[in-house]
Amino acid sequence: MSNIHMPVYLLVVLLGTALVIPLMAKMTNRIVNIFLTYAIMIAAILSVFTLVNVLLNGAFTYHFGLWHPSYGIEFVVDEFSAAMTVLVTVMSALVIIYSFKDVEHELEGHVIPGYYTLIFLMLFSMVGMTLTNDLFNMYVFMEILSLTSCGIVSIKRKRENLMASLKYLMLGAIGSISILLGIAFLYMVTGSLNMTISYDLIQNAWSIYPRNILVALGFILTGFGIKAAVFPLHTWLPDAHSTAPTPSSALLSGLVVKIYIFGAIKILFRVIGINIISEVGIPLFITYFAIIGMIMGSVFAIGQKDIKRILAYSSVAQIGYIILGIGLATESGLSVSLFHVVTHALMKSALFLSAGAVIYQTGKRNVNELNGIGYQMPVTMTVFSVGALGMIGIPGINGFMSKWYLSFAVLEAGRPLILLVILLSSFLNAIYYLPIIINAFLRESKDRENILERDQVPKSMLIPMGIIAGLCILFGFFPQLIMGVIERAVLTFFNI
Amino acid sequence: MVPSGSKEDRNKTGKQGKPLNKWYYRVLNYFCISCIIMFIITLLLVGAFVAVVIGRTSDGANGNIGGSLTVLYNLLDPLTNYAYLPLLAVFVPLIGGPLEAFIGKRNEGLRDFTVVFSTFGTFIIILAMFPQVADGGITNSIPGVFGYGLHFKVDMLSYIMVSTAGVLWLMVSIYAHEYMGMEHHRDRFYLFMSITFGGVLGTVMASDILTMFLFFELMTFSSYLLVAHNQSPDSILAGNNYIYMGVGGGLAVLVGMILLLFNTNHLDFVFLATELSELGWMQYLISGLFIIGFGIKAGMLPLHIWLPKAHPVAPTPASALLSGLLIKIGAYGLLRVTTSFYMPSADLISGKTDPLWALSKNMGIVVIWIGVITMAVGVFMALQQSNMKKMLAYHSISQMGYIVMGIGAASYLGYIGAMGFAGAIYHTINHAFFKALLFMVVGVIYVKTHEIDMYKLGGLWRQMPFTAFVCLIAALGITGMPGFNGFASKSILHHAIVESYEYGHPSFRYAEIIFTIVSGGTVCSFIKLFSYAFLGKCPEKFQNISKDGNGMMQMAMGGLALLIIGIGLAPGFIMDQFIIPAASNFTYDPYFIKKYLVDMNFFNQKDLLAMVPVYILGIGIFLTGKKFDLFHLHMPRWMDFEFILYKPIYKNVMRISQGVTERYETRTNNADVYIYAMILVASLFFLAAYLR
Amino acid sequence: MNLNAAFIYQNINYVGSSFLFVIGLYTVLTHPNLIKKIIGINIMETSVFLFFVSIGFIQGGQAPILNLEGKPVLYVNPLPSALILTGIVVAVSITVYALSMIVKIYEAYGTIELDEIMKLRSEEANE
């Protein structure tokens, strides 16, 4: 259990599975699915062991090849990395189990092994990007993540998928280039690519070369802004997340976008440091974008008719919450931001997976055609209602707790007017989520009768949805299970 | 989905083809037997409860009435001393609901039996809580939930609400079995009725505002499904209105709660006037938010618009519960906030002129006037209605105006506000009973005649004598005839408003005048209802309505009528046993309570004579109205709140978002790289400008 | 820091890199043809690589080959060049992926001009 190689075993398992799947392409689906389930379960268990190890024994660093950190690659496994790794592996385990039956409907048969290869590579790069402590290593993982996430959007060979994926790729490339340029500016000043070593060097260099560091900040923030879908740089997100196959949408909206935010947090707090940032006024700058994103995301969502597009715009609004937490630049702000990462991952996955099940059974995506569907798919619509009520902020579901903590963080940071913005955005969320639930359960349509039936969706799709909804409610009642770990994790950003 | 009528139809011809007597077979229906048994047990229990209560207070711990009572006490000790009674009371309906839905798929009669049985069981638990509550309240906690834990505390004020809820739910459950024969999706209705019951119990037993908020939202969402039950387009519209305003009210309470917690570090209902008075303008913001949040639920003007839409479309048992109890929860929340957050604790003040009462006083003025306007507008709109349920809905708004005015008087008078407090609570109890009874009467009329317009009915007292009789009792109750329960509470409220202008600002004299006029209007409205529905000539099509199938409904109505008469004949019982102990828990002048409230003589000459002009005014308005046909007025468009406030807001929000989406979505999606370039340049410029 | 010819001559790498970045960004912004957009992105990537590699250059340094004579020698920093090798591979894979998608888009839409594709999509959305 106290094996320090655990994170690397995790990466090896994910990468190994990704490489082995194409070799198994000729076997039947059933064998491949069982193999994948085992692989992701092992990965999840390894990450949980790592988290337990870190919580009990403290953080540790892992040097690849035992090279000294100033010229080797270093992994830092502290509470933050371990907790977020657990989030990534557990969520993707549930989504992958869901996807076994769903991809047979959505994708052509011969691309399915390729799909799983891409997903495992994506997981590999997500875990790597969370754990790494080296700037260029982060860039490399980020590029792998960018390519594979474009891959899982365009794997469905419809033409709107291709356009959406191309736009995502182009904007993602521009974002990566900005980030690389920013890293270049930082490297000019410090000469080292390791984050912990750079921190001290930058604090010294701030008085000598302030312009370099500021230009670097500008490029890095804009680059991460594109990739993390901060308003108004979010324009690729509605197309990409709505046209992608359902498990991809869930992973993209729930996890991939957040990993870029983790990269941004790491650079802002661990490389440049909170002192310089507060001096320059970056938190205020970020807060403005966050507030506009929270409101405009919901405003755009009200006018949409495709259910997955509504959920995609809702993601833009929720990312606004996360950025707001970062922009408050206090410990409670950052902890509420990480809490909302976990909460949103759970809720948005529940929403996307249940929307996917509805599309699986009825083939309809337009919200106006889904009247009365609650009777034919009660479990699915219950999961959807749990996710939607959490987004609105009903107590008992974890979305309420993240709004609660966010309000307190806002008040502690001394910006009480933002409370009004949170209130307004909750109400706007209600405007577009409640009609979906009401239409599903209470309206009648000519296509179907309002008699309670069983969902005709396979069990392997219903069980992960149910587990995610159950986790939402569990963390809604007992949020301190997560908050305890997150508060310990946040200290690693402020106590350098 | 067969209504119970057809079972008897099937049994109509029994052995040897002889038609058997209908009522004989109905009694043998086991649901009815069990209901009758439970009803009789309830009557006995209530009687025993009353005796026990009187016995306790007349002679310490053991009653002097005889050794039999001591035996009864010893028997009941393990039940009444169980520490977790509040939690049990909340969870029994919450678990009973899904159980009923599950059973309902298999057997309708067994499901209805389970419904009545679970409400009956909850009622017994509620009755069993009394000894502990009278001793000083029960506290329960579930730790760890939400990080603060859920806390329940049953003091006398909560207990009054809880017992009213228990009795009302029991009667409505018995009533609902026969009414719901004409609705579909019955399982869903009973499921959400039970969940609402659990939510209501949780809300009133909560001891901090976060627990109350949790159950408040639960109650809003589950009662939404009762309102929108019919799934007709009107129901969905009314339901939308209800739930959006409910969510909005919940958000207002949430923001108030967050500001309160952040500024004073307290969530529980303790006396916070000292901390709040140090906050400056923030205290008015917090109290304003609470008034808006709870006022939406209570149906205060101008936040009342969901009420007249929700009642006509909901099935009658749901309307009875909505009007009878759910809107009282809003008033209860307001009362709790008034008596804890605005009230200083007893050892910190020097009397009624202490400056710590300033917040209470200022909020009291606002609340009294809101209450008065609500009363007036409610009764005016009620007189214009022909739909019976809509008329009763507007009357609910009007009566809630009374209650809110009472709360306002309690808040305004501060230290000597016990009269307003007592009036508000007493009227809550009374209104629950007679409004539920009135809705039940209207429901029976609807089941028999399928007609809800009172101008099209008439002469029904011959076909439904029992219903006409209980309707008369309820009408006399709501108008305040001495001998029925409304008289007691209206007199107390009258005293409260008189005290407001005697001890406070003289402008409240006008409030008192409006009070009297509104009482007259209420009389007129009920004369109108009774005469149009029951008296007069019976139209052709209603000559031969069926007379059977409503035994249970009549039993439920009879139970409520008995309560109305009982409270009316002995108003001091509730006052002395329940309301005065409740008021003693808060910072009210004990000397004032002793002088004016204890052993109050309700049937004194001044109060009795004060009812006479009210009745004369009512009859006068009715005759004038009939002569000049004043009952079909409409308020001018510019005064209709919905038109000037809510519809424009809603339309504008939808228009703005559609417009923004259409115009800007494609533009921003095409201009993605432009936006990147602009933001890059802007951020570099902003950062470089820092250095200048 | 005055912008005269000597300054530009000494830092020509960085100046050229910024020019290329702006040219690449302009290309992506203005040309509707998808392949030209990909070329623009390539130009932007090349500019960043140029910038990064130029960081490593030290005036008067020698090529970073191990000198076995033991004298301390000033070396040019080899690390950025090694990193940029990885970067070039990334750029190539992005270009390959984008070009293959453009081929598929051409098969699906019949055109690779972005404004025409947008027109086709809005017509499809308005049906």
Of how many residues is chain C composed?
127
| pLDDT over 50 at B6, yes or no | no
- Give Cα B440 distance to the centre of its chain: 15
> In whole angstroms, how far apart are CA A304 and each of A435, A469, B189, B210?
12, 25, 33, 35
Nearest in space to B130 (alpha carbons), one of B151, B152, B154, B153: B154
Confirm whether A204 is domain-assigned. no
pLDDT at A91: 95
Range of the domain at A412: 281-496
| pLDDT over 70 at B638, yes or no | no
pLDDT at A228: 92
pLDDT at B460: 79
**Residue of B666, B670, B673 to mutate, interface with C, max C Cβ within 10 Å:** B673
| B677 to C118: CB separation less than 8 angstroms, yes or no | no
Pairing of strands B138-142, B150-154: antiparallel
- B673 close to C29: Cβ distance less than 8 angstroms: yes
Read off the tokens for B153.
């505390």
- Domains held by chain C: number: 1
Comparing alpha-carbon positions, the chain A residue that sits nearest to B677 is A222
A396-448 pLDDT tens trace: 899 999 999 999 999 998 888 899 899 999 999 998 999 899 888 887 776 66
pLDDT at A224: 93
Amino acid B640 reads D
Q: Is A445 helix (H, G, I), strand (E, B) or coil?
A: strand
| pLDDT over 60 at B28, yes or no | no
User: A74: part of which helix (H) or strand (E)?
Assistant: strand A74-77
- Residue B268, strand partner residues: B208
Amino acid B635 reads M
Q: Is C38 on the interface with A (CB under 8 A)?
A: yes
Residues 6+ apart with CB under 8 A from B520: B613, B614, B615, B617, B618, B620, B621
pLDDT at B27: 47
Q: B691 or A282: which carries more pLDDT confidence?
A: A282
Comparing alpha-carbon positions, the chain C residue that sits nearest to B670 is C118
Rounded CA separation B157/B159 (Å): 5
Q: Is C119 on the interface with A (CB under 8 A)?
A: no
Q: Is B107 helix (H, G, I), strand (E, B) or coil?
A: coil
Read off the tokens for B291.
């008034």
- B376 close to B404: Cβ distance less than 8 angstroms: no
pLDDT at A2: 67
B373-385 pLDDT tens trace: 899 888 888 888 8
Nearest in space to B184 (alpha carbons), one of B230, B116, B115, B235: B230
Q: Is B105 helix (H, G, I), strand (E, B) or coil?
A: coil
Q: B554 or C95: which carries more pLDDT confidence?
A: C95
Confirm whether A75 is domain-assigned. no
Mean pLDDT of all residues in B111-117: 82
A218-244 pLDDT tens trace: 999 999 999 999 888 888 999 899 999
Q: At what angle do helices A195-205 and A210-227 cross, to 10 degrees?
A: 140
Residues of B with Cβ-Cβ distance to A450 under 8 angstroms = 185, 231
List the subunits that have 3+ CB pairs under 8 angstroms with A.
B, C
Q: Where are the beta strands (DSSP E) in A406-454?
A: none
Rounded CA separation B499/B421 (Å): 13
Rounded CA separation B431/B409 (Å): 19
- pLDDT band of A355, cuts 50, 70, 90: very high
**How close A17 gets to chain C, by Cα (Å)?**
22
Nearest in space to B124 (alpha carbons), one of B50, B202, B199, B41: B41
Most confident of A382-386, B12-16, B239-243: A382-386
Q: What is the CATH number of the domain that holds C105?
A: 1.10.287.3510
Lowest mean pLDDT segment, chosen from A199-203, B78-82, B191-195, C117-121: B78-82
| pLDDT over 50 at A96, yes or no | yes
- A413 close to A333: Cβ distance less than 8 angstroms: yes
| pLDDT over 50 at B502, yes or no | yes
Rounded CA separation A256/A146 (Å): 9
Where helices occur in B349-464 by DSSP H, the ranges are: 358-383, 388-413, 418-449
Q: B278 or B293: which carries more pLDDT confidence?
A: B293
pLDDT at B350: 65
Q: What is the mean pLDDT of chain A?
A: 90
SS3 readout for A285-299: HHHHHHHHHHHHHHH
User: A392: part of which helix (H) or strand (E)?
Assistant: helix A378-392
Nearest in space to B211 (alpha carbons), one of A339, A475, A477: A477
Pairing of strands B150-154, A74-77: unpaired
- pLDDT band of A352, cuts 50, 70, 90: very high
Q: What is the mean pLDDT of chain B?
A: 80
User: Considering the entire predicted model, what is its pTM?
Assistant: 0.90
| pLDDT over 60 at B515, yes or no | yes
Nearest in space to B338 (alpha carbons), one of B275, B269, B279, B399: B269
pLDDT at B641: 61
SS3 readout for B29-90: CHHHHHHHHHHHHHHHHHHHHHHHHHHHHHCCCCCCCCHHHHHHHHHHHHHHCCCCHHHHHH
Among partner residues C29, C118, C122, which is closest to B673 by beta-carbon distance? C29
Where helices occur in B577-604 by DSSP H, the ranges are: 580-584, 590-592
Report cis status (omega within 30 of 0) of the bond before B302. Answer: yes
Question: Would you list which residues of chain B are within 8 Å, Cβ to Cβ, of chain C?
Answer: 666, 670, 673-674, 677
> In whole angstroms, how far apart are CA B524 and each of B118, B475, C77?
40, 11, 98
- Domains held by chain A: number: 1
pLDDT at B64: 45
- pLDDT band of B659, cuts 50, 70, 90: confident
Q: Is A442 on the interface with C (CB under 8 A)?
A: no
Among partner residues A222, A304, A427, which is closest to B251 by beta-carbon distance? A427
Mean pLDDT of all residues in A101-113: 87
Q: B184 or B77: which carries more pLDDT confidence?
A: B184
φ/ψ of residue B295, rounded to 5 = -70, -30
DSSP string, B225-270: HHHTTT-SHHHHHHHHHHHHHHHHHHHHHHHHHHHHHHHH---BS-
- B30 close to B113: Cβ distance less than 8 angstroms: yes
pLDDT at B415: 80
Range of the domain at C34: 5-125
| C86 to A140: CB separation less than 8 angstroms, yes or no | yes
pLDDT at B3: 40
| pLDDT over 70 at B57, yes or no | no
| A478 to B653: CB separation less than 8 angstroms, yes or no | no
Rounded CA separation A184/A216 (Å): 8
A444-488 pLDDT tens trace: 776 666 667 777 788 888 999 999 999 999 999 999 889 999 998
Read off the tokens for B75.
């028997």
Rounded CA separation B621/B374 (Å): 20
Handedness of CA B643, B308, B112, B90 (dihedral sign): positive
| pLDDT over 50 at C20, yes or no | yes
Residues of B with Cβ-Cβ distance to C122 under 8 angstroms = 666
Mean pLDDT of all residues in B585-592: 80
pLDDT at C74: 84
Comparing alpha-carbon positions, the chain B residue that sits nearest to A424 is B251
- A445 close to A368: Cβ distance less than 8 angstroms: no
pLDDT at A89: 95
Rounded CA separation C106/C35 (Å): 11
Phi-psi group of B487: left, alpha or beta (phi > 0 → left; psi -120 to 50 → alpha; rest → beta):
alpha
- pLDDT band of A391, cuts 50, 70, 90: very high
> In whole angstroms, how far apart are CA B514 and each of B373, B398, B401, B406, C110?
9, 12, 12, 14, 77
| pLDDT over 90 at A250, yes or no | yes
Confirm whether A421 is domain-assigned. yes
